[in-house]
A and B are shown apart, each in its own frame.
Chain A
């Protein structure tokens, strides 16, 4: 196909301008703030150059939050991949009620985050939560446990809640990828004696590459950015165990009132994510086949 430079840009530019305005201007404001030592937003501060950056890199809080973010991304990736593939592969089979399930599996994705929080806060409550009482009834627990009471349990519970929210949507995207795989490939492999596990690894998985590329990129960035679920449930606790970088930024800006430090954190975080995206794209981007 021939190139249509002017027309192409014309079609793309409304969106590109929209996004640039709303992202670049704020990023510039944040960058400017990061060079001063403003404490409360709206007050003035002294120009300190790159001081904030130098100080920040030595802070244990920053390291701790970065690690939490890393675990958060990995934990979510594992959980969501597992749930999403289970759902997608299951719905891909024929069974009674398949249509209804396929239509409604998305339920957890379409409700407001605030509702997700209400649901799981009550479900996981140790005094009136159904999960504790069922686990006790079937003998898995002796007494009610607090799902947010220790650092590890709180972290894991949040990963599961967040995965509960996102997996069904991912499943549908994967399902669309599955549907695009040529049926004949499965039939041919059956003739060759491949079982369904082999089929998954040799046909299904490779054919989903381009879907998985985008999900890998966008999914990682999106789960990195999750703020409201964590904020509304644990506020980053207990003992900062669930303080990921977005929470640390919010905390630094609005409970510590160190807006310049928060801006510094923001800029570093954005750079890290950009770096990740570039590496990810360079190394994983599928070759265009058209």
Chain B
């Protein structure tokens, strides 16, 4: 028994070490580097512990670029995409898994299979389509696309959370004369709340990180999202690494902050929700 525990211990420490090295160290390095002087960042002798400290990169990006406009746009697009995704996918997941209907298996699988159409394929046709209905250069253009990318997987995740809710609770409510609307808003949604929260965060992240469509469907500076704005402030012929790194940190910061407050719900919602 002791021997097995030893092996376990070695495995555990080894994998912990690897995980920290691979998944956390890059962040440490990028964040510290964003405070280094330009000379130190591009120096051929790389430093892990910084030798210089400067705020110039952050100064430049916060006060000389449209960072706050990009941030605002990203927040608007991501929040709206998240809310619409959640409404649509809660409704769909409920329909699929609580109200068995003719063709529900087909719909369930078809939803997942929507990922079989690569974004690149849809790019030009969507551009032309949106131009026809006058949607180019609008938040809604991005929201439509983000919802498309987020919902299929969101529905599948929600299904698992809905399954955990015993049918007896619902049926008891119906016997008491509750309507479908009451059951969903008073029973299903509150009981599945942790799960819904983590799915919501998932939708938020999908929208927050989207690049390709945001770069094509938007042409005005006042509507650009953070990833596109960040890609644009770097000149074609030069790389200002300090500028880029501080931009990278700042573009990640809002989601990280979000995670400080609700990260544990995301993780516990996901992991304790028992996806089956």
- Do A and B contact each other directly (Cβ–Cβ < 8 Å)? yes
Q: Which listed residue, A111, A177, A262, touches B255 by the CB 8 Å rule? A: A111
A9–B95 Cα distance when bound, in Å, is: 7
A134–B231 Cα distance when bound, in Å, is: 29
A160–B215 Cα distance when bound, in Å, is: 25
Q: Is B10 located at the chain interface by the 8 A CB criterion?
A: no
- In the complex, the chain B residue whose C-beta lies closest to that of A197 is B7
Q: How far is the CB of B131 from chain A (nearest CB, A)?
A: 10
Those of A26-42 within 8 Å (CB) of chain B:
26-27, 29-30, 41
A266 & B120 in contact (Cβ 8 Å cutoff): yes
The count of A-to-B residue pairs whose CB atoms sit within 8 angstroms is 296
Q: Is A86 located at the chain interface by the 8 A CB criterion?
A: yes
Q: Knowing A115-B251, A173-B270, A269-B121 touch, does A11 contact B92 (C-beta < 8 A)?
A: yes
Q: Knowing A15-B89, A110-B205, A176-B271 touch, does A5 contact B115 (C-beta < 8 A)?
A: no
Q: Return the CB mask of B92-121 against A: 1 if under 8 Å, else 0.
A: 101110011111100101011111111111
- In the complex, the chain B residue whose C-beta lies closest to that of A42 is B128
Which of A44-52, A100-108, A235-243 is the interface stretch?
A100-108
- In the complex, the chain A residue whose C-beta lies closest to that of B167 is A1
B259 & A110 in contact (Cβ 8 Å cutoff): yes
Q: Knowing A18-B147, A130-B48, A266-B120 touch, does A106 contact B128 (C-beta < 8 A)?
A: no
> Which of chain A's residues have a CB closer than 8 A to the CB of B92?
11-12, 14-16
Q: Return the CB mask of B1-41 against A: 1 if under 8 Å, else 0.
A: 00010001000100110110011101101100100000001
Secondary structure call for the A interface: helix
A102 & B267 in contact (Cβ 8 Å cutoff): yes
A132–B23 Cα distance when bound, in Å, is: 18
Q: How far is the CB of B37 from chain A (nearest CB, A)?
A: 13
Q: Which listed residue, A19, A93, A99, A130, touches B12 by the CB 8 Å rule? A: A93
Instruction: Give the bracket for the number of chain B residues in contact with chain A.
Output: 35 or more
B99 & A196 in contact (Cβ 8 Å cutoff): no
Q: How far is the CB of A93 from chain B (nearest CB, A)?
A: 6
Those of A168-212 within 8 Å (CB) of chain B:
168, 172-173, 175-177, 179-180, 195-196, 210-211
Question: Could you pull out 20 A-B pairs where Cβ atoms are within 8 angstroms?
Answer: A8-B101, A9-B101, A12-B95, A23-B114, A30-B124, A90-B12, A95-B12, A103-B263, A104-B24, A106-B263, A107-B256, A112-B211, A114-B248, A118-B244, A128-B42, A172-B267, A176-B275, A177-B275, A210-B276, A249-B118
Q: Which residues of A contact B (CB under 8 A)?
A: 1-12, 14-16, 18-19, 22-23, 25-27, 29-30, 41, 83, 86-87, 89-90, 93, 95, 99, 101-115, 118-120, 122-123, 127-130, 132-134, 164, 168, 172-173, 175-177, 179-180, 195-196, 210-211, 214, 217-218, 221-222, 224-225, 227-228, 232, 245-246, 249-250, 253, 259, 262, 266, 269-270, 273-274, 276-277, 281, 285, 290
Q: Which residues of B contact A (CB under 8 A)?
A: 4, 8, 12, 15-16, 18-19, 22-24, 26-27, 29-30, 33, 41-46, 48, 88-89, 91-92, 94-96, 99-104, 107, 109, 111-126, 128-129, 144-145, 147-148, 151-153, 155-156, 160, 163, 167, 180, 205, 208-209, 211-212, 226-227, 230-231, 241, 244-245, 247-248, 251-252, 255-256, 259, 263-264, 266-267, 270-276
